[in-house]
């Protein structure tokens, strides 16, 4: 299997090879992992670089995609499939479209790392949600089911403007702000730190490692923490807890002993 793995360099500290970093320059890397009961297996990766010396047209400076026998992820740009996409400085209208090919499992993790000066978002067309991607490493767990939208090659894209920003600007919630404890849990009871979600309607979903939904509940958050009782719904194992609001979704890995 041919696999490309990318790691973000310390551009923000040392400057780029072409001088100090411009406010709208930087780098995004994304690595795709296949999630099993016991492991997370790296299968592919892509990189996008923004610099004023590059063009937004696909040129010889970009790297075309070499497809893996199993899962692959590419950047879809102007009908070209790329592993490395070198672009001019980003703007609020910039989009980075992913293209996923040949899923062979149900559960995956998309790990996105960036050093941009601005907040960006991962749009999921299945859930119609925008997940905030803060500077550094962001892990998004998702499942691929046997339907056209869930397994769509173009399900995800990175955008630089969130249409719900006007309603979210006062809360500024990210996945790192939502805490789940105790984790691991021995009795199936977990607390969700919800002080930043207070007053919002949320949907709580739990999926097993085969992608099957084992728990679903909607509630309005009234307190700083919210108790979740999974005692009758789950057995020992690893699960994905998904917390959805009208505009965002957060995923957490949950272990039941």
Q: Is the CB of residue 87 less than 8 Å from the CB of residue 49? A: yes
Residue 164 lies inside a defined structural domain of this protein: no
30 and 147 housed in the same domain: yes
- Residue ending a domain, among 129, 159, 189, is 159
What was the pLDDT predicted at 252?
Answer: 85
β-pairing, 107-114 vs 120-124, is unpaired
Residue 9 lies inside a defined structural domain of this protein: no
35 and 144 housed in the same domain: yes
154 and 36 housed in the same domain: yes
Q: Whole-prediction pTM value?
A: 0.64
Q: Is the CB of residue 230 less than 8 Å from the CB of residue 215? A: yes
Residue 168 lies inside a defined structural domain of this protein: no
Structure confidence by residue, pLDDT tens digits, 16-31? 444 445 589 999 999 9
Q: What are the E-state strand segments in 194-236?
A: 201-207, 213-220, 225-229
For residue 251, the domain's CATH number is 2.60.40.1930
38 and 143 housed in the same domain: yes
147 and 65 housed in the same domain: yes
Q: What are the E-state strand segments in 36-169?
A: 40-50, 63-64, 72-77, 80-87, 95-101, 107-114, 120-124, 129-133, 136-143, 156-159
For residue 74, the enclosing domain spans 25-159
Tally the C-alpha atoms within 13 A of residue 21's C-alpha that lie toward its C-beta: 19
Residue 140 lies inside a defined structural domain of this protein: yes
80 and 34 housed in the same domain: yes
Kindly provide the b/e burial profile for residues 108-138, where b requires at least 16 CB atoms within 10 angstroms of the residue's own CB.
bbbbbbbbbeebbbbbbebbebbbbbbbeeb
Residue 16 lies inside a defined structural domain of this protein: no
Residue 7 lies inside a defined structural domain of this protein: no
Using alpha carbons, list the distances in angstroms from residue 86 to 91, 132, 213.
14, 23, 39
42 and 149 housed in the same domain: yes
30 and 154 housed in the same domain: yes
69 and 183 housed in the same domain: no
Distance CA(219)–CA(181), nearest Å, equals 19
Residue ranges, the chain, pLDDT below 50: 6-20, 166-170
What was the pLDDT predicted at 172?
Answer: 54
Q: Residue 27's Cα: distance from chain center in Å?
A: 16
Residue 226 lies inside a defined structural domain of this protein: yes
Q: Is the CB of residue 25 less than 8 Å from the CB of residue 17? A: no
Candidates 144, 138, 129; CA nearest to 209 is 144
What was the pLDDT predicted at 3?
Answer: 52
Candidates 133, 123, 114, 132; CA nearest to 48 is 114
Q: Is 104 exposed, middle or buried (0-12, 13-18, 19+ CB in 10 A)?
A: exposed
What was the pLDDT predicted at 153?
Answer: 96
What DSSP letter does each residue of 153-177 carry, written as one string?
TTSEEEES--TTHHHHTTT---GGG
As for how many domains the chain has, the answer is 2
97 and 200 housed in the same domain: no
What was the pLDDT predicted at 110?
Answer: 95
138 and 189 housed in the same domain: no
The β-bridge partners of 42 are 33
Residue 17 lies inside a defined structural domain of this protein: no
What was the pLDDT predicted at 249?
Answer: 79
Q: Give the list of residues 6+ apart from residue 93 with CB closer than 8 angstroms, or none.
A: 160, 161
29 and 153 housed in the same domain: yes
Sheet order of strands, 189-193 included: 180-181, 189-193, 225-229
| Helix, strand, coil % in the chain, rounded to nearest 5 | 5, 45, 50
């Amino acid at each position: 299997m041919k696999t490309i793995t990318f790691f973000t360099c310390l551009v923000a500290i040392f400057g780029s090879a072409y001088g100090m970093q411009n406010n709208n320059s930087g780098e995004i890397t994304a690595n795709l992992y296949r999630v099993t009961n016991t492991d997370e297996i790296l299968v592919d990766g892509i990189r996008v670089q923004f610099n004023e010396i590059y063009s937004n047209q696909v040129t010889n400076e970009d790297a075309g995609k070499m497809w893996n026998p199993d899962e692959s992820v590419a950047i879809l740009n102007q009908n070209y499939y790329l592993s490395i996409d070198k672009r001019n400085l980003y703007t609020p209208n910039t989009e980075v479209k992913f293209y996923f090919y040949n899923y062979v499992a149900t559960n995956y993790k998309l790990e996105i790392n960036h050093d941009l000066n601005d907040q960006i978002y991962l749009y999921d067309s299945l859930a119609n949600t925008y997940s905030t991607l803060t500077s550094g490493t962001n892990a998004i767990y998702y499942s691929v089911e046997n339907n056209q939208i869930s397994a769509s090659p173009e399900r995800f894209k990175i955008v630089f403007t969130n249409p719900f920003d006007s309603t979210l600007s006062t809360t500024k919630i990210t996945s790192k702000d939502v805490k789940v404890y105790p984790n691991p849990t021995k009795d199936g009871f977990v607390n969700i730190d919800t002080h930043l979600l207070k007053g919002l309607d949320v949907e709580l979903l739990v999926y097993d490692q085969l992608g099957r939904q084992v728990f679903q509940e909607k509630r309005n958050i009234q307190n700083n923490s919210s108790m979740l009782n999974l005692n009758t719904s789950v057995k020992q194992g690893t699960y994905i807890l998904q917390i959805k609001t009208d505009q965002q979704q957060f995923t957490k890995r949950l272990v039941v002993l």
